Amino acid sequence: MRYLLTFSYDGTLFYGYQKQKNKRTVQEEIEKVLSKINNEFTAISASGRTDAHVHAINQKAHFDSSKEYNLDRLKHSMNKMLPNDIFIKNIERVNDTFHARFDVIKKEYVYKINIGEYDPFSREYIYQYNWNLNVEKMREAINYLKGTHNFKSVTKTIKEEKDYVRTIYDAKINVKDDIIIISFVGSGFMRYMVRNMVGLLIAVGEEKIKPIDIVDILNKEDRIFAKKTAPAEGLYLTNVYYE
């Protein structure tokens, strides 16, 4: 039987989602708990990985088991055993052909920037830029990221992807109490893609480049032409969508 987990985590003390040798990861912590409950190693397959210090509000992962669980009891047991920077929000039975990664139709990420006074208490959760940005120009620029494009210019390219084309269905910028909140909903996101898009928007907000320059940077299909990568701390995986 296949089960789907919905869970959140504070990425501050993790070396990312994906299991790594001798490093603390979200995947390893959840697999340790499930394996203990099942009395055998139980692997999970997530919708995708997040990097070190990136947070998740609604990450998804599936696992297989021959056992039929009381789902409320399983959720309670897992949360009791997991460290307090991971929380299982929901567990449900899914079709055995369902796949948490390959069945994703879109994802949503949010990035937060503090343009007000430095806040030491939120430094692990909001990028402390602490300077003015031209938000209106950033709002103009983000429209050039919408649609279907080759996003090679805003992707880590040490490992070559087979296909750099993705679709951004929606992207917007809101401001609340000196916090800029940038959201992207897309068909999929490659490594550092969101943080590099945010880096471009910051460059626009600093008036170092014009909003229209984003079109040229995307068309060059070369990471060297994009600006710096925004820090991981401000990034959240907020939602994963399936049919």
Containing H/E element for 61?
A: strand 55-64
Contact call for residues 164 and 150 (beta carbons, < 8 A): yes
Let me know if 51 is a catalytic residue.
Answer: yes
Residue 132 CA from chain centroid, whole number: 25
What is the distance between the alpha carbons of residues 45 and 96, in angstroms, rounded to a whole number? 13
Containing H/E element for 220?
A: helix 213-220
Contact call for residues 227 and 199 (beta carbons, < 8 A): yes
Containing H/E element for 44?
A: none
pLDDT 10s digits, 192-221: 999 999 999 999 999 999 999 999 999 999
Amino acid at 5: L
The tens-digit pLDDT sequence of the chain (243 residues) is 999 999 999 999 999 999 999 999 999 999 999 999 999 999 999 999 999 999 999 999 999 999 999 999 999 999 999 999 999 999 999 999 999 999 999 999 999 999 999 999 999 999 999 999 999 999 999 999 999 999 999 998 656 668 999 999 999 999 999 999 999 999 999 999 999 999 999 999 999 999 999 999 999 999 888 889 999 999 999 999 999
Domain with CATH 3.30.70.660 in the chain: 104-242
Catalytic residue among 10, 51, 85, 178: 51
Amino acid at 145: L
Which residue has 């299991």 as its token pair?
19
In the CATH scheme, what architecture does the domain 2-94 have?
A: 2-Layer Sandwich (3.30)
Q: Which of 175, 161, 224 is nearest to 196 (CA)?
A: 224
What is the distance between the alpha carbons of residues 42 and 86, in angstroms, rounded to a whole number? 18
Interacting residues of 70 by C-beta distance below 8 A, sequence separation 6+: none
Domain with CATH 3.30.70.580 in the chain: 2-94
Annotation: CATH topology of 104-242: Alpha-Beta Plaits (3.30.70)
Residues 200-232: b if buried by 16+ CB within 10 A, e if exposed: bbbbbbbeebebebbeebbeeeebeebbebbbb
pTM: 0.95
Tokens of 71: 């789902």
Contact call for residues 146 and 132 (beta carbons, < 8 A): no
